[in-house]
Amino acid sequence: MNKGELAAAVASAAGLTSAAAGKAVDAVFDAITGALKKGDDVRLVGFGTFSVSDRPAREGKNPRTGETIKIAASKQPKFSAGKGLKDAVNG
C-alpha cells in the first residue's frame, strides 16, 4: 500500500473526500515527523511507538576497496509495534 492508497482507504472508512483524506494523512505524517525532530516519542496505544535512537560514530569498510572509512554519528527513526498491531497481524 502506498500513500495514495492509504488516503483512499481513509477516505472510504471515514466518509471523507479523497482530497480531505489526503490532507489528513499528510497532517499525521507531518505531526509524527515534527515530534521526532524535537526528540519526542510518539506513542499510539495498541498500534506502536515511533522514536529516535542515536547512532554513535564508528569505523566501517568500503566494500569495493576494503578501505577503512569513518561513518558519522546520526539519529535513526525507529518504530516498535504495539501488542494490538502484533495481535492483528498474527491472528
Taking the model in full, what pTM does it have? 0.80
**Level-2 CATH architecture, domain 3-90:** Irregular (4.10)
The pLDDT tens digits of the residues spanning 60-81 come to 999 999 999 999 999 999 999 9
77 with 38: CB under 8 angstroms? Answer: no
| Long-range interactions of 41-49: CB distance < 8 A, separation 24+ | 44/82, 45/82, 45/84, 46/82, 46/83, 46/84, 46/85, 47/81, 47/82, 47/84, 47/85, 48/79, 48/80, 48/81, 48/82, 48/85, 49/79, 49/80, 49/82
pLDDT tens by residue, the chain, 91 residues:
999 999 999 999 999 999 999 999 999 999 999 999 999 999 999 999 999 999 999 999 999 999 999 999 999 999 999 999 999 999 8
